[in-house]
Chain A
Amino acid sequence: MINKLKSKDLLGTKDLSPEEILLILNTAESMKEISSRDIKKVPALRGKTIINLFYESSTRTRTSFEIAGKRLSADVVNISVSTSSVAKGETLRDTAKNLEAMNPDAVVIRHSSSGASEYIAKILRCPVINAGDGAHEHPTQALLDLFTIREKKKELKGLKVSIIGDIAHSRVARSNIYAMNKMGMDVTVSGPSTLIPVDIEKIGVKVVNDVVKAIEGADVIIMLRIQLERQEKGLFPSIREYSRLFGLNTEKLKNAKEDVIIMHPGPMNRGVEISADVADGQYSLILDQVTNGVAVRMAVLHLLTGGA
């Protein structure tokens, strides 16, 4: 069994090997217990500095990385775009170089442009963790999804997963598809055909346009957030129609397997892609995902910055 990741950075799940994914999941399993202690802190990353560089708004992911770093005793610094010199016109490269001059041990970056994390990773000597770049990848989200699925289903291999919604603009979908394929899972995507990229089959998924068909037989259903601004671009006619045709509700769920699990990366549009009773219902693991996110990010931070 391997004991470290081969790359200095975590930019996407596309570049991870199945062994590396397992190493992260197993490490996260050990990390999870720490969050249930009275004293939720271990000294592993004492003296390390982690910078959260967020060019896009985020509550869950930024807080999750911050808590993960702090539970490992790292010093975590948050930079959000509205209060930073980026607002004064500094380039990404200059910001990166200036941060590097302060000797951080890891930089966690979220950016609206695909490839931003890779660009920064080439400039910086320290590990860079992609917390979401454009429509490209969001690897820690996929890893926490796998962790949550494995916790419930014990085994990943052979599971049928349906990812439903705006596949085209979703970095969560992309990271999940790469990772799930590597773990031997069987991925189907569904949603309005305007939001499903042409040729998506080439990265190893089935396309099923009828959502009800995608729900049937699935062990795991991942609902994606529909970004309301997409409607203005004419990609779907109305929120109401989207909800009726593609939203997950109790009625559609009648076609699902008895032990189906339902996940959503958040933030949810209740009543649009997922109805409130399903989101809060017995099959939903949405809050488990959030809990597990901290453990998975602790694992990633420790594997990339601990004892290197």
Chain B
Amino acid sequence: MNTRVMNADEVNRAITRIAHEVLEKNKGAHDLVIVGIRTRGVFIADRLAAKIKEIEGEAIPVGIIDITLYRDDIKSSPSKHIVKKTEIPFSITDKKVILVDDVLYTGRSIRAAIDGLIDFGRPANIQLAVLIDRGHRELPIRADFVGKNIPTSHDESVKVMLKEEDGVDKVTVISDQ
């Protein structure tokens, strides 16, 4: 069974709200950089940067991180992940890094992404923004900015669809029953 939990407007509003929260917490866009986790985190990162530019008038550097080479779950996954490019063409040292992903679940992807970021320099801090937090953490990781909390069970999966990749903005919860 599939339940739609967010439509395009709701996704847009959530990202707008996160943009405001990021600016409020950091007292503006100064020293901010945004890094999206492949694949869908990248699109949310781009949208977040566009919103911040709209609000604050300041363009923020946006980077892309591919966590395949940092994962700890490759052995258990049936299909291997294809290694894609990491593109962080700016220094993150002493910057406030907003790390962006679509769904926060076990926290293992975020752990991998943090390890990856640290290889690029020593940021002033790393803050986490996610569109969906579905719970079930396996590591001590929490998000600083959340679009929507969706309580789920382990048998369910959360599917985030974004225009850039899937042609439509939509979040659904898919359960096996």
> Taking beta carbons and an 8 Å cutoff, which residues of A are in contact with B?
1, 3-4, 23, 26-27, 29-31, 33-34, 37-39, 41-44, 72, 299, 302, 306-307
Q: What is the distance, in angstroms, from A37's C-beta to the closest C-beta of chain B?
A: 6
Q: Is the CB of A23 within 8 A of B74?
A: no
Q: Is the CB of A33 within 8 A of B87?
A: yes
Q: With A37-B120, A43-B115 known to touch, is A30 a contact of B70 (CB < 8 Å)?
A: no
Tell which of B69, B79, B86, B121 touches A72, judged by Cβ atoms closer than 8 Å: B69
Asked if B154 is at the interface (CB within 8 A of a chain A CB), the reply is: no
Name the CB-closest residue of B to A44: B69
A-contact 0/1 string along B64-77, CB 8 Å cutoff:
00101110001101
Residues of B within 8 A of A30 (CB): 66, 83-86
Tell which of A3, A26, A37 touches B119, judged by Cβ atoms closer than 8 Å: A37
Residues of A within 8 A of B120 (CB): 37-39
Asked if B53 is at the interface (CB within 8 A of a chain A CB), the reply is: no
Tell which of A3, A29, A33, A37 touches B79, judged by Cβ atoms closer than 8 Å: A3
Q: What is the distance, in angstroms, from A301's C-beta to the closest C-beta of chain B?
A: 12
Asked if B137 is at the interface (CB within 8 A of a chain A CB), the reply is: no
Complex-state Cα separation, A283 to B115, whole angstroms = 40
Residues of B within 8 A of A37 (CB): 119-120
In the complex, 15 of the A-B residue pairs with CB atoms within 8 angstroms, ordered by the A residue number, are: A1-B82, A23-B82, A27-B82, A27-B83, A29-B85, A30-B84, A33-B85, A33-B86, A33-B87, A34-B69, A38-B121, A39-B120, A41-B119, A43-B115, A307-B77
Complex-state Cα separation, A3 to B86, whole angstroms = 18
Residues of B within 8 A of A26 (CB): 82
Complex-state Cα separation, A299 to B66, whole angstroms = 15
Residues of B within 8 A of A39 (CB): 119-120
Complex-state Cα separation, A78 to B159, whole angstroms = 47
Residues of B within 8 A of A302 (CB): 69, 83
Asked if B81 is at the interface (CB within 8 A of a chain A CB), the reply is: yes
Complex-state Cα separation, A244 to B49, whole angstroms = 61
Complex-state Cα separation, A43 to B119, whole angstroms = 11
Max count, chain A CB within 10 A of own CB: residue among B77, B82, B83: B83
Asked if B80 is at the interface (CB within 8 A of a chain A CB), the reply is: yes
Residues of A within 8 A of B81 (CB): 3
* Known interface pairs A39-B120, A43-B70, A44-B68; 4 further A-B residue pairs with C-beta atoms within 8 A, sorted by A's residue number: A1-B82, A33-B87, A44-B69, A306-B74
Q: Is the CB of A3 within 8 A of B69?
A: no
Q: What is the distance, in angstroms, from B69's C-beta to the closest C-beta of chain A?
A: 4
Complex-state Cα separation, A30 to B38, whole angstroms = 13
Residues of A within 8 A of B82 (CB): 1, 3, 23, 26-27
Q: What is the distance, in angstroms, from A222's C-beta to the closest C-beta of chain B?
A: 27
Residues of A within 8 A of B80 (CB): 3-4, 306-307
Complex-state Cα separation, A34 to B85, whole angstroms = 9
Complex-state Cα separation, A299 to B82, whole angstroms = 10
Complex-state Cα separation, A40 to B66, whole angstroms = 15
Which chain B residues numbered 33 to 83 have a C-beta less than 8 Å away from chain A? 66, 68-70, 74-75, 77, 79-83
Max count, chain A CB within 10 A of own CB: residue among B69, B79, B87, B115: B69
Q: What is the distance, in angstroms, from B73's C-beta to the closest C-beta of chain A?
A: 9
Q: What is the distance, in angstroms, from B118's C-beta to the closest C-beta of chain A?
A: 9
Residues of A within 8 A of B115 (CB): 43
Max count, chain A CB within 10 A of own CB: residue among B75, B85, B116: B85
Tell which of A23, A29, A42, A307 touches B70, judged by Cβ atoms closer than 8 Å: A42
Q: What is the distance, in angstroms, from A169's C-beta to the closest C-beta of chain B?
A: 35
Max count, chain B CB within 10 A of own CB: residue among A38, A42, A72, A299: A42
Max count, chain B CB within 10 A of own CB: residue among A1, A23, A30, A72: A30
Complex-state Cα separation, A1 to B79, whole angstroms = 12
Complex-state Cα separation, A307 to B80, whole angstroms = 7
Residues of B within 8 A of A4 (CB): 80
A-B complex: 5 closest residue pairs judged by Cβ atoms: A307-B74, A44-B69, A42-B69, A30-B83, A39-B119
Q: What is the distance, in angstroms, from B38's C-beta to the closest C-beta of chain A?
A: 10
Residues of A within 8 A of B74 (CB): 306-307
Complex-state Cα separation, A38 to B119, whole angstroms = 8
